[in-house]
Amino acid sequence: MTGDADERALAAEDRMTDDERFSLLVSVMGVSDLITVRDERIPDGTPMSAGYVPGVPRLGVPALLMSDASLGVTNPGYREGDTATALPAGIALGASFNPALARESGGVVGREARSRGFNVLLAGGINLARDPRNGRNFEYISEDPLLSAALVAESISGIQAEGVISTIKHFSLNCNETNRHWLDAIIDPAAHRESDLLAFEIAIERAQPGSVMTAYNKINGGYAGENSELIQGVLKGAWDYPGWVMSDWGATAGWEFALSGLDQDCGCQIDVLMWGAEAFGQSLRDAYANGRLPKERLSEMVRRILRSMYAVGVDRWGAPPEVDMARHNEIALEAARQGIVLLKNDGALPLAPDSSPRIAVIGGHAQVGVPAGTGSTAVVPPGGYAEVIRVGGPSFMGATRNLYLLPSSPVAEITKLLPQAQVEFDPGMSPAEAALLARRSDVVIVFGIRVEGEGFDSADLSLPWGQDAVIEAVAAANPNTIVVLETGNPVAMPWRDNVKAIIEAWYPGQAGGQAIAEILTGAINPSGRLPVTFPADLAQTPRPDLPSMGEPWGTPATIEYGEGAEVGYRWFAQQREQPLYGFGHGLSYTRFDYSDLLVLGGDTITATFAVTNTGDRQGADVPQVYLTGAPDGARMRLLGFERVDLKPGESKQVTVTADPRLLARFDSEAGQWRIAAGTYRVALGSAADTLSLTAETALQAALFGR
């Protein structure tokens, strides 16, 4: 099948005129809130979206219609009235630790895209959460390469199984939004291979996404789209990636990027705003005419695009698929349920369903809906947003920054599940006013929300709009206080010791209010686990001060990723810092016990153990196996995990086999992965900082891969 795709790409490209070839290399943005003038290259009747690339009808090559993607089919003003299933944030999917759920979520987006005629989804966001201030962490999965790759690969496979091409993005190190177009991410190349690039490598191997989208930032001095070392050397070279490399929107500063391996320039109208001209327009044609762009390179660019089209099958579409929106809502609901993390519970949860308490629900617009992240992933849910509150901010990105509220009201859902309770709402406008309602209630559920998204990093870990003070005040007024966070990142919790329970619900998507109410009332047993470390303080993180934070848009900045591959829990372990909540942490209404850890070595590590539900209700657990010690340097690495659903008293045997790259170091000189012979320490636990069983085994020396 893929051999066939190569041959067909070769044959079709061979029959093209140069004009046809060049036309495939530029993706034009549709009319939207950002681009208000219709580009003549987009034919009448084409549904507007993030990108349009003309086809070559005489050769049966379809046009490419590109849409964002990661959390549902987006519509930032492109198509009047078009709504789609709004899934929970990527970080919530990360918290599910559930690859099967990722695949189902991918299927939702793939089917809804295909039914609209979109054949390329700008999905597969996999940048690692290196900094808890990064505005786009909510779009991505986690701080860990294996967890991120395992879930992103399934989500891409779910999309491509519908005959729709998926990207994986942003290659690489777009791990902060502050001045992202002028940001130079500095990293040791070997450490890069062991972290962010490893996430890409595993996900690409498993899912074969049709396209890789480069990042906005520079990496070690050169823009991601002109980084020949990464594109030619690693992606197309060491990994033998056969698909095409597209730019992020407006990220192509010059035609020369084509010489470094970039195959397609996307969002070309933004090039004009950013760099004064379209990079792959006339200047690329001129470079070809005067011999600076070789014919072979032009052909290769085109062949790569065609190859992915044929491999995924966008040229073989039949009738549009049936889309069952009710079923898609069920998947959005299940994803929200599995993503919610119970961080703390001093016996306040679950709320007893048959009691008739006076419940105060405070803040977070919980009477309206649940928040979503802002930027290119924002999905308009069926029926439209419950509300859009313009937030704004400096730079042109400010125009895209809104508080989107999806219509799944926690107040309504709590009321539905606790019909005997008296539920009253206070907006949380002022600490004093909120305390009045808290004082005359039996239980207080206070919401803490943040607006996070593309183009902005958070300045610190606090909750905005004085919400920390509101939580302090209601907790002082009523000791029976439960906090529900709806954020895209870890936040500081100055009130942590004064409240009875804390839930992290992230941006929970269109069914989020229902999922939150189900967890609070115990209709659903919480099973989410943190895919990112919650620091106690920014001082514990690799960069307490973020370079260029506060500088005007357009200020060049250098960001030293000096932590290298020691991202998140790896860093905390190396520095011996105790986080507020560790990676992998999450409570349940039942209890789990681990036993019989048996670890085998040799070429790789295989860990077998038993997990038992020792509590009195059904629940899902995510036991995690970590490397904690190696002969060539202490380090911590998640080697594997499995989500297991167990009835009370039930036990299951789990086997985890490590990808040898997680045991190895990348040897830049050899250009290969190297395992040192000797003794390796392994630990099994419920979180990176809660390890209960340990074992040792020996590995043989090995040099492998590229």
Closer to ligand BGC by Cβ: residue 78 or 255 = 78
CA–CA distance, 387 with 371 (Å, rounded to integer) = 10
CB count, 10 Å around CB of 90?
Answer: 34
CA–CA distance, 488 with 140 (Å, rounded to integer) = 10
CA dihedral sign of residues 224, 226, 227, 228? positive
- Amino acid letter for position 504: E
375-434 residues in contact with ligand BGC (CB under 6 A) are 376
Contact between 68 and ligand BGC by CB under 6 A: the answer reads yes
Contact between 435 and ligand BGC by CB under 6 A: the answer reads no
Six token digits for residue 14: 């061979």
Least CB distance to ligand BGC at residue 224 (A): 11
> If we measure between CA atoms, which residue out of 161, 589, 127, 583 comes closest to residue 347?
589
> If we measure between CA atoms, which residue out of 417, 390, 413 comes closest to residue 401?
390
94-123 residues in contact with ligand BGC (CB under 6 A) are 122
CA torsion, ordered 179, 184, 187, 193, to nearest 10 deg: 80
661-700 residues in contact with ligand BGC (CB under 6 A) are none
Least CB distance to ligand BGC at residue 47 (A): 15
Closer to ligand BGC by Cβ: residue 215 or 638 = 215
CB count, 10 Å around CB of 237?
Answer: 16
- Amino acid letter for position 438: A
Cα–Cα distance list, 184 to 89, 547, 557 (Å): 27, 10, 6
DSSP readout, 223-257?
A: EGGG-HIIIIIIIIIIT---SEEE--TT----GGG
Least CB distance to ligand BGC at residue 672 (A): 32
Least CB distance to ligand BGC at residue 122 (A): 4
Closer to ligand BGC by Cβ: residue 50 or 515 = 50
Closer to ligand BGC by Cβ: residue 83 or 376 = 376
Task: Tell which phi-psi region holds residue 602, choosing left (phi > 0), alpha (psi between -120 and 50) or beta.
Answer: left
| Location of structure tokens 């860093």 | 571
| Location of structure tokens 């999309």 | 159
Which member of 112, 162, 248, 278 binds ligand BGC (CB under 6 A)? 248
Regarding beta strands 702-704 and 592-600, do their DSSP bridges make them parallel or antiparallel, or are they unpaired? unpaired
Regarding beta strands 557-560 and 183-186, do their DSSP bridges make them parallel or antiparallel, or are they unpaired? parallel
Give the gyration radius of the chain's Cα atoms. 25
Least CB distance to ligand BGC at residue 380 (A): 15
CA–CA distance, 393 with 121 (Å, rounded to integer) = 28
Total binding residues toward ligand BGC, as defined by CB under 6 A: 7
Which member of 25, 42, 50, 156 binds ligand BGC (CB under 6 A)? 50
Closer to ligand BGC by Cβ: residue 29 or 451 = 29
> If we measure between CA atoms, which residue out of 445, 450, 484, 443 comes closest to residue 466?
450
Closer to ligand BGC by Cβ: residue 181 or 652 = 181
Contact between 630 and ligand BGC by CB under 6 A: the answer reads no
Closer to ligand BGC by Cβ: residue 160 or 441 = 160
Six token digits for residue 522: 């115990």
For residue 280, give every residue at least 6 positions away whose Cβ sits within 8 Å of its Cβ, in sequence order, or none. Answer: 22, 25, 26, 252, 255, 258, 264, 265, 268
Cα–Cα distance list, 610 to 507, 617, 681, 684 (Å): 33, 18, 19, 11
> If we measure between CA atoms, which residue out of 75, 94, 96, 97 comes closest to residue 84?
75
Least CB distance to ligand BGC at residue 249 (A): 4
364-383 residues in contact with ligand BGC (CB under 6 A) are 376
Least CB distance to ligand BGC at residue 633 (A): 35
Closer to ligand BGC by Cβ: residue 231 or 501 = 231
What string marks each residue from 134 to 173 as x (binds ligand BGC by CB under 6 A) or -?
-----------------------------------x----
Regarding beta strands 672-675 and 665-667, do their DSSP bridges make them parallel or antiparallel, or are they unpaired? antiparallel
* DSSP 8-state secondary structure symbol assigned to residue 446: E
Least CB distance to ligand BGC at residue 68 (A): 5
Closer to ligand BGC by Cβ: residue 249 or 255 = 249
Closer to ligand BGC by Cβ: residue 166 or 613 = 166
| Location of structure tokens 């729709």 | 164
For residue 363, give every residue at least 6 positions away whose Cβ sits within 8 Å of its Cβ, in sequence order, or none. Answer: 426, 427, 428, 434, 446, 447, 448, 449, 467, 470
From 68, 248, 468, 621, active-site residue: 248
Least CB distance to ligand BGC at residue 77 (A): 12
Residues 556, 181 contacting (CB under 8 angstroms): no
> If we measure between CA atoms, which residue out of 414, 568, 424 comes closest to residue 503?
414
In the chain, the N- to C-terminal Cα span, in Å, equals 25
CA–CA distance, 86 with 406 (Å, rounded to integer) = 8
What string marks each residue from 169 to 198 as x (binds ligand BGC by CB under 6 A) or -?
x-----------------------------
- Amino acid letter for position 217: N
Closer to ligand BGC by Cβ: residue 123 or 656 = 123
Least CB distance to ligand BGC at residue 185 (A): 15
Closer to ligand BGC by Cβ: residue 391 or 417 = 391
Cis amide leading into 353 (omega within 30): no
Six token digits for residue 378: 């924002």
Strand order in the sheet with 51-53: 51-53, 64-68, 120-122, 165-171, 211-214, 244-246
Which member of 52, 249, 495, 589 binds ligand BGC (CB under 6 A)? 249
> If we measure between CA atoms, which residue out of 305, 325, 302 comes closest to residue 315?
305
> If we measure between CA atoms, which residue out of 75, 141, 84, 78 comes closest to residue 111?
84
Closer to ligand BGC by Cβ: residue 29 or 520 = 29
**Residue 271 bears catalytic tag:** no
> If we measure between CA atoms, which residue out of 576, 625, 603 comes closest to residue 677?
603
- Coil, strand or helix: which one is 265? strand
- Name the closest residue to ligand BGC (Cβ): 122
Name the residues that contact ligand BGC, by CB under 6 A. Answer: 50, 68, 122, 169, 248-249, 376
Indicate which residues carry an active-site annotation: 248
